[in-house]
Structure 1
Amino acid sequence: MVFFAPHSLDVAISKPFFNGSSWPWYGVDLFSTVFHKGLKAVPIVIALGAIGFLVEAVFARRKGRAPYAARWFSNPEKRLLYLLAGMAASVLLVWWLKGTTGVSCPWDAKPFGGNRIIVDPSFSLFFRSGNCWPAGHAGTGFCLFSLYFMLRDEHPRAARFGFAFAMLMGILCGTTRLMQGAHFASHNIATMLIDWLVCAGIYAQMFARGTINKNIRAAFTSPMGLPAAIVLTALWWTFVFDIPLAKQLLERAGSDQLLFLFGTLAAFFFVGAALLTLMSALPKPLFRLMAALFALCGATGFTGAMLYGVIFTPDMVRNFIATDVREASQYLGVRTTAIFLFAAVPPLWAAWLAGRGAKGECAAGSRLARLGKSLKTGAKRTLGALVFLAMGVGIIFLNFQTFAGVMREDKTLRYQIAPVNVIYSGIRTLATDASPDAKRVRAVVDPTPVLATKSEKPTLFVVFVGETTRSANWQLSGYERATNPKLSTVKDLISFPRVAACGTSTDVSLPCMMNRIGRSDYDRKRILAEEALPDVLKRAGAEVLWIDNQSGCKGVCAGVPSRRPTADDKNCPDGVCYDAVFTSEIARAAADLKPGSTTVLFLHMYGSHGPAYFKGSPDERKVFRPECTAADLSSCPIEDIRNAYDNSVIETDSVLADAIGVLRKAAEEKGVNTGMLWVSDHGESLGENGLFLHGAPYMMAPDEQLVVPMVMWFSDAFAETYGVDRAALAERAKKDATHEHLYSTVLGLLNVESKTYRKAFDLTEGD
């Protein structure tokens, strides 16, 4: 309720009470006078009564007689103090949280005509605007949980009535305010949970301190029967792991389709129970191991979906596996770890305790008797699984038209059914999709390419592969911020503002853009099985070097020399290099050129890799502040995320401008034919529509992840030697391009004769 308030469900529940312009129930006298103001008197009267009995008890003890309340309690003073403490602590905590969590009321929210966005509660030491989470008026009733705890030891029956009274009061108070637009349903539920925990905690300290540790230890170590473990685990899968899916279903089916939502979740519960029941036929250690694996996978998917909007398709699992230690460490944080543990620990606990303490299946008796017992148990579990499965499928068929329509509209929803989504995608990736970095014999696509242009002067051409730079935040693509302060002043720079990426992750885009097979005829197996652009250039006679400041070349550099950047003290603090280190790499390459040689440098940048965008630029060169430095981007204001990302884009701009400066100097002083091309591998989501990072399925990926910028620069000597019409190329840059143009464009720029060259995809040839 704190980390993942169900906003879509809240809006759906409140929608019937809003007429499009106002909340009709807000002006009803019965609600305002009786339910709002009048019910507040109930806990006040109870508290005053408790104070009166407590004062009477104190005076009675002084006079040596038994207090009046002693006829009900063995220690009335302690019980009355507990009642007052529980009520006061509940009210004060809810009051404090209302003022400091910054959550606005429905009547101020944008879906109901207001100007505030709906946000999760966040915590502060200071009072902020909002004042609506948790629900204060619901606490009028729920603070009376202290009645239950006061009575439970000596008057259990009365305690049950006290509990029912507190629930009734809390629901009545909360519902009336919900109908008036003052609170969402989750605000009321949060109040109920908070007040229960407060009252229970104080009770434990005052009346059960001696046994509470023993009770907790027993609760977490007592054996759990297989049926109980199956039900608990299936419930957890459905109502925790499937929260991201439930939000998507509600948004796509419509906020008025609550019956469809709960029906679908019920179906998932029964199908999950069927799967777990079948798994329980395995030997208990194997069942526990598999249940634990599902728990870890489900928690991983849940954390990724809730924090970053990640969908664990096979492509995402491949991207996840390809992440190196440097990248993976950026995702670790206190909140990330806490959310993962929250999701993982309960099903892991159930898996650990499942079936322990039960009598073994190999009890005394004949082998035939044991076999018969095993078969009988197996038959029961199979029958139970079939019954669960039939119930789940039956519920789906009752809502089949809506269910099928939603699933057809967005096929990625199937990859959000947790935890089987992560298991399925993982198995599919591992079984059918080898790593692009794996060693393999690659097919030679052209054994005899030729460098058709011969020049007495050496040639140095630099291909920068950017990381995670999107057109939406690139000044040369129309972004309002000055994220290209240096490149925007470079003479003869050719800017392509919109280039369609081949994929939404480096693992997909990098091999694709460097291969003769592009997105129009995409075939990952063929792409990974063939030599890439660097191999063709090397085979044509060019000196090729790949320098990687990222997590690897994804197999693209397998046939050419490759290495990490040469570290220096200025640009590589703690052994991790900023992209500025490439400037000296280019300078060294320019100094070592041989007459008549052609050298091509492929430089793979760190760029704007997230979620730690702030690490992409040194502190002294940051322009926009404050920056988001948290691993979980959803905990930062969008503006802080944007600041950190834009600072990393400015760093990329500086690196490219400095590289052009080195190349210009080599051309002017030594007559070297120099040129440069830079393009980003994919874009990035910065919180738009709840998405963060990249790697969304291609079919549903937003433009933020698919549209990237590209720039080119050529010295006069290069343009003259290789016949590059810079004016025509600049005119062509006004139109959209794709990653598929890169391969043939580089071959065209360097005048490489190759049977893999496609004139239609050479940008130097116009349309």
Structure 2
Amino acid sequence: MALSIPARHPARGGAVSLLQGSARQRGATITRAGGRPAATGQMTDTNIAPVRLFRPTLSQLGLNLAVASYIMAALNTGFWQRLADILGDSPARMALFALAIFALTVLTLEFFGPGRLQKPVAAALILIAAAANHFEQSFGVLIDREMVRNVFETTVTESRHLVTPAAAGTIVLTGVLPAALVFWPRIDRVSRWHHLWRWPLGVALSFAVLAGGLFADFKTFSAVLRERKELMASYQPGATIGALARYGKQQFAAEAAVLHPVGPDARPGPHLAGAEKPVLLVLFVGETLRAQNFGLNGYARDTTPELARREVINFPDVGACGTSTAVSLPCMFSPLAQAGYSRDRFLSQENLLDVLARAGFAVRWVDNNTGDQKIATRTGWDRVDATLDPEACAVECTDRVFLPLIERTLDTITQDTVLVLHMIGNHGPAYFLRYPQDQAVFTPDCRTAEFAKCEVAGIVNAYDNAVLETDRVLARTIDMLAASDKADAAMVFLSDHGESLGEGGLYLHAAPLFMAPETQTRVPMVMWLGEGFRRTMGLDAACLGDKARAPASHDNLFHSILGLLDVTTTARDPALDLTDGCRIQRAS
């Protein structure tokens, strides 16, 4: 018996026949009686194959070789430049070493990307290498553990000056798009059982080629690796992966650190104890100001005209503990000298602020930069309040925002106080934001964070204008402290590290210390002592001036501040105290 099923007209959106429905599901078509094609909107009996995007098929090793080739050829510009500089006179040695490092790249892909992890790992390594290569080529920076720390501990404001449209475009073209292409080819996957021996075999073969290349001339290559550390520090993605691993290890160790006291015997000395007024020290921690561009140090340009007109003690030969804030700032507040400093040791013991607080000082840290770097963990810290000076904070707060804070502190002081002010100073690359545009003395000044758009002279002009702004802030601070009758006041300024301004193709800072130029490791230091402070503390300014001519370093800060403020403690090392021998003993 035939079964007929009624159908409604398609135009009225009704039901279609079961036969038509099942045919659609099968991708089939229906014709009218006599083989004539159906009307428009109805099915035909012609099978239409879906359009598919062509996808090549590669083996797992084939994809790894392709990715490694791209990374080495396109994303290791600095590595090739340094390799040519070191081994360029011996093409055979250069080829052998290059083969070994190519094998290291394949080894990294094989080891971290077995099976289905291969494509995500390969894409991630391309992105890492692309970003590192861009910043090395743009600023000459190398990615080490402290650079990784800078990345993780930076602020949004600071990072947006580095992630410019040009930087984003370069990273998209060299990193994001190639990383996306990794997912295009099909991979001829082997069975799970096959993979149990294929993965370790791939790792072993890659390692064998690496070892074979290096041992082919081990004497030469071992010397290169030992003495020219910048070569492998520029290899990507290896250098960045290693830096990330070392940073993670250090962070994990820091969480388990046990705090040890420093200076538990700290107490006011006879001069401090006998002070008739509260004692105030304003300690400016400068940012990225190098000694070479500081007018008081003999720079060809007068970048410190205001300080030159005030009775300050200048220290022209001061060495920094590191080349980045994350290293230098904790180091200078620590009792550890540079030779014995490590972040682990710093985090496991108290620092200068703890000792000062124990001696009875009210300690306050106010920040216009990237934070206290865990120095004020126990004493507390605050960021600048933009409402103190809205004009100074019209775009980003310049260091003038500190002036109302100093004035307020002088008006309300009732206790011995140390006010630590962490400046934005000469933080790059946006030097032009560190000073009011209408007070730019050196022109034309580079008014962008993209150095590629500026001449070196314009970059230096902007940097020097920022030095002038620091000079104005320090001079205005001195004037306020000198005019106040509510405290015996002093001021110390010390920069955390220097800056490269294009010398040798380097810009900014944070170069590994073993290869850092002097422009990143020499910093300015200035001391001003009010008349009341000198009298109360029994300090001989002429003696301090004589001492200032000798070399000094960040190692001196911890001990010299304790000496300056007459804090008695066994934690103070007289050999590192710049005030030692310059105090007139109070009559008993």
Do Structure 1 and Structure 2 share a fold, with TM-score over 0.5?
A: yes
Asked if residue 416 in structure 1 is aligned to residue 249 in structure 2, the reply is: no
* Partner residue, 1:472: 292
Identity fraction in percent:
35
Asked if residue 517 in structure 1 is aligned to residue 336 in structure 2, the reply is: yes
Matches of 2:347 and 2:200, distance apart in 1? 43
> Structure 1 552/222 Cα, relative in aligned 2: closer, same or farther at 3 Å?
same
Matches of 2:256 and 2:199, distance apart in 1? 46
- Partner of 2:305, secondary structure, is coil
Shift of 1:561: 3.5
* Partner residue, 2:275: 455
Matches of 2:58 and 2:442, distance apart in 1? 55
Are the aligned partners of 2:315 and 2:549 in contact in 1 as well (CA < 8 Å)?
A: yes
Matches of 1:334 and 1:224, distance apart in 2? 35
Higher relative contact order (CA 8 A, sep 6+): 2
Matches of 1:393 and 1:614, distance apart in 2? 50
* Partner residue, 1:374: 192
Task: Choose 598-607 or 511-520, whichever is displaced more.
Answer: 511-520
* Partner residue, 2:78: 244
* Partner residue, 1:386: 204
Asked if residue 401 in structure 1 is aligned to residue 219 in structure 2, the reply is: yes
What letter matches 2:115 in structure 1?
A: P
Asked if residue 651 in structure 1 is aligned to residue 484 in structure 2, the reply is: no
* Partner residue, 1:135: none
Shift of 1:525: 1.2
What letter matches 1:515 in structure 2?
A: S
Shift of 1:246: 1.3
What letter matches 1:317 in structure 2?
A: V
Shift of 1:488: 1.3
Q: Give per-residue Cα distances to partners, 1:562-601, cap 9 Å, x unaligned.
A: 2122322221114x3110111111111011122xx31110
Shift of 1:222: 5.3
- Partner of 2:493, secondary structure, is strand
Equivalent residues in 2 for 1:126-145, closer than 5 Å:
none
What letter matches 1:353 in structure 2?
A: W
Shift of 1:278: 4.3
* Partner residue, 1:531: 350
- Partner of 1:527, secondary structure, is helix
Shift of 1:675: 0.5
> Structure 1 692/353 Cα, relative in aligned 2: closer, same or farther at 3 Å?
same
Matches of 2:548 and 2:343, distance apart in 1? 28
Equivalent residues in 2 for 1:157-556, closer than 5 Å:
218=53, 224-253=58-87, 255-280=88-113, 282-284=114-116, 286-345=117-176, 347-356=178-187, 358=188, 373-433=191-251, 442-452=259-269, 453=272, 454-490=274-310, 492-556=311-375
Shift of 1:379: 2.7
2:525 to 707, 710, 714: 710
Q: Give per-residue Cα distances to partners, 1:291-317, cap 9 Å, x unaligned.
A: 222122111211121111111111221
Shift of 1:408: 2.0
Matches of 1:224 and 1:502, distance apart in 2? 51
* Partner residue, 2:568: 753
Shift of 1:382: 3.7
* Partner residue, 1:740: 555
Are the aligned partners of 1:545 and 1:562 in contact in 2 as well (CA < 8 Å)?
A: yes
Equivalent residues in 2 for 1:581-620, closer than 5 Å:
581-594=401-414, 597-620=415-438
Shift of 1:765: 1.8
Are the aligned partners of 1:464 and 1:678 in contact in 2 as well (CA < 8 Å)?
A: yes
> Structure 1 330/434 Cα, relative in aligned 2: closer, same or farther at 3 Å?
farther
> Structure 1 673/540 Cα, relative in aligned 2: closer, same or farther at 3 Å?
same
Are the aligned partners of 2:410 and 2:486 in contact in 1 as well (CA < 8 Å)?
A: no
Are the aligned partners of 1:634 and 1:687 in contact in 2 as well (CA < 8 Å)?
A: no
What letter matches 2:96 in structure 1?
A: G
Matches of 1:520 and 1:248, distance apart in 2? 28
> Structure 1 488/434 Cα, relative in aligned 2: closer, same or farther at 3 Å?
farther
Are the aligned partners of 2:56 and 2:185 in contact in 1 as well (CA < 8 Å)?
A: no
> Structure 1 518/354 Cα, relative in aligned 2: closer, same or farther at 3 Å?
farther
> Structure 1 439/396 Cα, relative in aligned 2: closer, same or farther at 3 Å?
closer
Are the aligned partners of 2:259 and 2:348 in contact in 1 as well (CA < 8 Å)?
A: yes
Asked if residue 674 in structure 1 is aligned to residue 489 in structure 2, the reply is: yes
> Structure 1 735/218 Cα, relative in aligned 2: closer, same or farther at 3 Å?
farther
- Partner of 2:303, secondary structure, is coil
Shift of 1:381: 4.6
Matches of 1:522 and 1:569, distance apart in 2? 39
Are the aligned partners of 1:747 and 1:757 in contact in 2 as well (CA < 8 Å)?
A: yes
Matches of 1:330 and 1:312, distance apart in 2? 18
Shift of 1:445: 1.3
- Partner of 1:763, secondary structure, is coil
Are the aligned partners of 1:224 and 1:353 in contact in 2 as well (CA < 8 Å)?
A: no
Q: Give per-residue Cα distances to partners, 1:460-483, cap 9 Å, x unaligned.
A: 111000000000111111110111
Shift of 1:239: 1.3
- Partner of 2:365, secondary structure, is strand
Shift of 1:228: 3.3
Mind listing any 5+ residue stretches in structure 2 that lack a counterpart? 1-50, 583-588
* Partner residue, 1:155: none
Asked if residue 628 in structure 1 is aligned to residue 449 in structure 2, the reply is: no
Q: Give per-residue Cα distances to partners, 1:147-167, cap 9 Å, x unaligned.
A: xxxxxxxxxxxxxxxxxxxxx
Shift of 1:439: 11
Are the aligned partners of 1:295 and 1:347 in contact in 2 as well (CA < 8 Å)?
A: yes
- Partner of 2:403, secondary structure, is helix
Shift of 1:634: 4.4
What letter matches 2:432 in structure 1?
A: F
What letter matches 2:391 in structure 1?
A: K
Are the aligned partners of 2:411 and 2:486 in contact in 1 as well (CA < 8 Å)?
A: no
The structure with the largest helix share of the pair is 1
Shift of 1:350: 4.0
Matches of 1:328 and 1:302, distance apart in 2? 17
> Structure 1 440/623 Cα, relative in aligned 2: closer, same or farther at 3 Å?
farther
Matches of 1:760 and 1:647, distance apart in 2? 37
Are the aligned partners of 1:226 and 1:355 in contact in 2 as well (CA < 8 Å)?
A: no
Shift of 1:456: 1.6
Matches of 1:412 and 1:314, distance apart in 2? 14
What letter matches 1:450 in structure 2?
A: R
Are the aligned partners of 2:446 and 2:459 in contact in 1 as well (CA < 8 Å)?
A: yes
Mind listing any 5+ residue stretches in structure 1 that lack a counterpart? 1-214, 362-372
Matches of 1:406 and 1:469, distance apart in 2? 33
* Partner residue, 1:665: 483
What letter matches 1:489 in structure 2?
A: R
Runs of 4+, deviation exceeding 6 Å: 438-441
Report how many aligned residue pairs link the two structures: 528
Are the aligned partners of 2:289 and 2:497 in contact in 1 as well (CA < 8 Å)?
A: yes
Asked if residue 686 in structure 1 is aligned to residue 514 in structure 2, the reply is: no
Shift of 1:723: 1.1
Q: Give per-residue Cα distances to partners, 1:348-396, cap 9 Å, x unaligned.
A: 134323545x4x65xxxxxxxxxxx433344345434433433333233
CA RMSD of aligned residues (A): 2.4
- Partner of 1:674, secondary structure, is strand
Matches of 2:517 and 2:309, distance apart in 1? 30
